[in-house]
Structure 1
C-alpha cells in the first residue's frame, strides 16, 4: 500500500515538471515581464528606437548592428501601414477661390498698384492708413536687406500688401528676411512667396512680425522654402499681440540644410494670436539637433490658439533620422532674454490646441513644455508618437482627442484626460493601430466613434472633421458645412 502511494506521488511529481509545462510557464513569465516592462517604460516605439540607436553609437559593429535591427523593427511596428493623410483630402490652406472675409477690405481708402520690386518697396515705405498696396500679376525678385513695413496702420484703416488673386503674383526672395513688420495693423494676403537662397541658413523668414506690430494678419498666402516662414517676437518692452495667421499654405520643397531653427510658424513672447486653418507641411531640419516643429508658441505668452490646422510633418519629404514635432505649446524652451516676463517661469499660459489634424510625425504630434492651464481638445493624431506633457509647470486638460499613439505626462506635469481614444503602449509595439484604421487608403477619415459615453467628444470630432473638410460616413447637411459652423 505504501509503495503504491509513493508511485502515485512520483507520477504526479513527474507530471508537474513535464518539460512542455515548464516551457509554457517560462514563455508566460517572459511575456508577462515584457508587457510589464513595455508599460512601465511609457515610451512610444519610434522614440525608443531612436534612443537605442543613440546609446549604441560608438560601440563595436555587432552591438551597432543589433541595435540597428531592433530600432528598425520598433519603428516599423509603430509606423507601418499604407494610410497616408494628404492635403488633397482636406479643405485647408491657401486657395485660389478663397472667399474674402467681409472685413477684408473695410477701411481701404486707396489702391496702389505696383509693377516692380522697387515700386513695392517704395509704396510700403511710404504707406498710409487704408492703403491697399497691390502687386500686378507677375514675378518679383527681392534681395539685400528686409523690406521694412514700419508705417502705422489704424484699426479702421489697416495697410494691405496683397495680390488680387492667389497664384498671379510670385515673390522670389534671396535674403535673410523678406518683410519686416514693426508697426500695427498690417495685412498680407493672396501672395506666393518663395525663398530662393542656395544657402538655407540665409532664407530665415518670409515675414518677420516684431515689437509694436500688433493686430497683424496673414491670410491666404503660399509660402515655401524658409526656415521660419512667419516669425513673431517682441522687441524690448513691445510685443506684437492679437495677430492672426489664417488659411495659409506653409511648406518646403527640400530638406532644410541648416542648423538654424526650422519651424514654419515660430511665435515667441506674443499673446492672443490665432493660428487657424493652415496647411503646414515638410519642415525637415538636416543639421544641428535635427529637431523641427510645425508651429510653436512659447516665450511666456498667453491665450494663443492653434485650431483647425492640417499639419503633415512628412508629406512629400521623408527623412526618418530627424525629429519632427507637430504643434507645441512651449517648443524647446526660450532663453530668458527673449521671454515676455524675462524669466519664462511658464512658456505658455491658458493657450489652446483644438480641432487639428496632425499626421506622419517622427516624434510627438502635440508637445507641451512648461505650458500652464492648457487645453488640448478634439484633435486627430495619425502616425505620431502621441501627446506629451512635460515639466511641473505644465497643466493641461486633454479631452475628446483621437490619438494614434499614447498620452503621456513627464517630469511632474499634471494633466486631466477624458474621453480620448488612444492606443496602448503594448499595442504600438505589436503594430496595433485602431485609430489609424479609421482612415482609408486615400487618407480620408472613414468613420467616427459612436459610443454613447463619447457623445460629446464625437460631436467635437465631427466638428473638427467638418471644419477640415474631411469626408465621413456620417451625413453632414449643407448648413453644417458653412463657414459659420467652423468659427470658434
Structure 2
C-alpha cells in the first residue's frame, strides 16, 4: 500500500511537471515572459472569472519572479532638457501683434482673429469654463498664431474639448495647456482639430491632464490634413479614469500628419478596458509620420498594471462612420516610424500595427516593452535598423520583413530586459553603447542628408538604432 501511494505521488508530480512544461512552452511561443503572462492571467481571473479566482494566487507566485526595469528618478517636465518642449524657446514675432493679458481679451482676440495676426499671451493664467470654438481662417502666407511669451508661464486652463479649431492655417506655440476638471471625462482635449482645420502647426507647448490632448478628425467630408506636431511635452499626473479613449495624440482620418520630437509620458488609463496609447494615426489615413519622439509609458506613474502601449498605426480600430471617405478595411497606408525611442511600457507592446498597410519602421529603439505586434491581414511592415527588446510578432495574418535589426528576447522566467546590457543606463535614457557596436551591417538606405536622428544630427550613412554613432545625445539631451 505504501509503495502504491509512493508511485501515485511520483506520477502526480510528473503529471504536474508535464502540464507546467506544456504551459510554459505555449507562453514562450507567445513571446511573453512568464511573470507578465501570469500577472495578466491573475488580473483576468479576478475581474472576469471570480468563480475560479481562487487559483489566482498561483499565478501571483509566478508573477513575483519579475525583475523590474523602470525610470527610478522623479521626472520634472519643467526642468527636462531633451525631446519635447524647450524652456528657452522664444516664438518669432511677425505680422500684426495683438497682446493679451486676461481671459476676456484672449477670447475676443480669438473670435476676431485675422490672417497674419499673432496673438501674444503675457505670463498668467487664462481659464475657459467650456469648449471654445475658433472658426476664423488664416492663409498659407499669413497664418493666425497663438503664442505664449514665456514657456511654462502662460497657462490655459481648459474643460470639455478645450479649443475646438474648425478653420485652416493656425499655429500654437509656447503655451501650457492644463486640464482643469473635477472628473477626467470632463477634460477630453486641449486642442480639437476638426473638419477644414488643415495645415496646423503645434510647436513647443506642454499638455497636462487630458484624455486625448491632441484630437484630430474629419467632419462632414472635410479633413484636417498636413498637420505638424513638433517639440511638445504631453503627460498626465494620474491615470485617466475614463471608459473612453485615453491617447495623448489621437489622429483619425487625416493625411500627412507629422509627429516629431515630442516627449510623451505617463499615459495610463485606470477605467474601462485600461488600454491606452501614447499616440496613433488611424481611420483610413495615409502618409502619417512619427519621428524622433520619446515615449515613456511609465515615468512618475509606475506599476499600475495597466496596458499602456507606445506608438501605433491603427490603434484600437475605427468605427465605419469615422473612416476617411467612409472607406473601411485599412486603418493606415504608407505610415513611417523612424528614430523614435519608446521605453517603459512593460505590460504591452511598444509599437502596434493594426490594419496598417505598407508601414516602415526604421531606426527605432524599443526598450522594456513586449516588442512589436503586426496584426491582421491588412498589415504589412518592413523593419529596418531597429533595436528591439522582446519580439516582433505577426498576429491574425499580419506580415513583416526584417532587415538588419537587433532583436533581443526578454528573460523568460524573470522578464529581465537583456537589452540593458548593451547600453550605459537605458532605464534613465542613456543609450550610449557599452558593447562593441553590433557586427551585423546596417541596411542600406537612401541617406540624402535630409534625415535627422533622434539626437538631431543630420545623418548620411546607415546606422543601427535611433541615433548615429556609439555615444548618445550630448548631455543637454538627457534628463539633468
* TM-score, length of structure 2 as denominator length: 0.84
Which of 112, 119, 126 is the equivalent residue of 2:105?
119
Partner of 1:16: none
Residue ranges of structure 1 left out of the alignment (5+ in a row): 1-24, 483-488
Partner of 2:10: none
Alignment of 1:474-485 (within 5 A): 474=470
Shift of residue 81, structure 1, vs aligned partner: 7.0
Partner of 1:345: 329
2:453 and 2:467 in contact (8 A); partners too:
no
Partner of 2:5: none
User: Does residue 1:451 correspond to 2:451, yes or no?
Assistant: no
Which of 27, 30, 38 is the equivalent residue of 1:41?
30
2:257 and 2:288 in contact (8 A); partners too:
yes
Shift of residue 62, structure 1, vs aligned partner: 4.1
The aligned length equals: 444
User: Does residue 1:183 correspond to 2:174, yes or no?
Assistant: no
Which of 92, 99, 117 is the equivalent residue of 2:83?
92
Between 147-156 and 329-338, report the one with greater CA deviation: 147-156
User: Does residue 1:304 correspond to 2:288, yes or no?
Assistant: yes
Partner of 1:366: 351
CA distance in 2, matches of 1:275, 1:90: 19
Shift of residue 34, structure 1, vs aligned partner: 7.4
Change (3 A) 1:47 1:241: farther
Greater percentage in helix: 1
Partner of 2:58: 66
CA distance in 2, matches of 1:416, 1:452: 20
User: Does residue 1:56 correspond to 2:45, yes or no?
Assistant: yes
Change (3 A) 1:151 1:406: same
Give the secondary-structure state (helix, strand or coil) at the position aligned to 1:241.
coil
CA distance in 1, matches of 2:332, 2:206: 28
CA distance in 2, matches of 1:185, 1:255: 33
CA distance in 1, matches of 2:210, 2:161: 9
Shift of residue 387, structure 1, vs aligned partner: 0.6
Change (3 A) 1:337 1:458: closer
Give the secondary-structure state (helix, strand or coil) at the position aligned to 2:29.
helix
1:47 and 1:385 in contact (8 A); partners too:
no
Change (3 A) 1:457 1:356: farther
Alignment of 1:17-36 (within 5 A): 36=25
Shift of residue 164, structure 1, vs aligned partner: 2.1
Change (3 A) 1:334 1:45: farther
Give the secondary-structure state (helix, strand or coil) at the position aligned to 2:190.
strand
CA distance in 1, matches of 2:261, 2:149: 21
Shift of residue 170, structure 1, vs aligned partner: 1.3
User: Does residue 1:139 correspond to 2:138, yes or no?
Assistant: no
Which of 397, 404, 419 is the equivalent residue of 2:404?
419
1:249 and 1:278 in contact (8 A); partners too:
yes
Give the secondary-structure state (helix, strand or coil) at the position aligned to 1:453.
coil
Which of 211, 217, 221 is the equivalent residue of 2:195?
211
Which of 334, 338, 341 is the equivalent residue of 1:357?
341
CA distance in 2, matches of 1:471, 1:372: 26
Shift of residue 84, structure 1, vs aligned partner: 7.4
Partner of 1:228: 212
Change (3 A) 1:423 1:38: farther
Shift of residue 419, structure 1, vs aligned partner: 1.4
| C-alpha RMSD of the superposition | 3.3
Change (3 A) 1:82 1:202: closer
Between 215-224 and 398-407, report the one with greater CA deviation: 398-407
Partner of 1:12: none
Change (3 A) 1:295 1:404: same
Residue ranges of structure 2 left out of the alignment (5+ in a row): 1-13, 459-465
CA distance in 2, matches of 1:84, 1:459: 39
Which of 379, 387, 391 is the equivalent residue of 1:406?
391
Change (3 A) 1:450 1:89: farther
Shift of residue 472, structure 1, vs aligned partner: 9.2
Partner of 1:151: 136
* TM-score, length of structure 1 as denominator length: 0.83
Which of 261, 266, 279 is the equivalent residue of 2:250?
266
Which of 153, 176, 182 is the equivalent residue of 1:168?
153
CA distance in 1, matches of 2:296, 2:473: 28
1:181 and 1:208 in contact (8 A); partners too:
yes
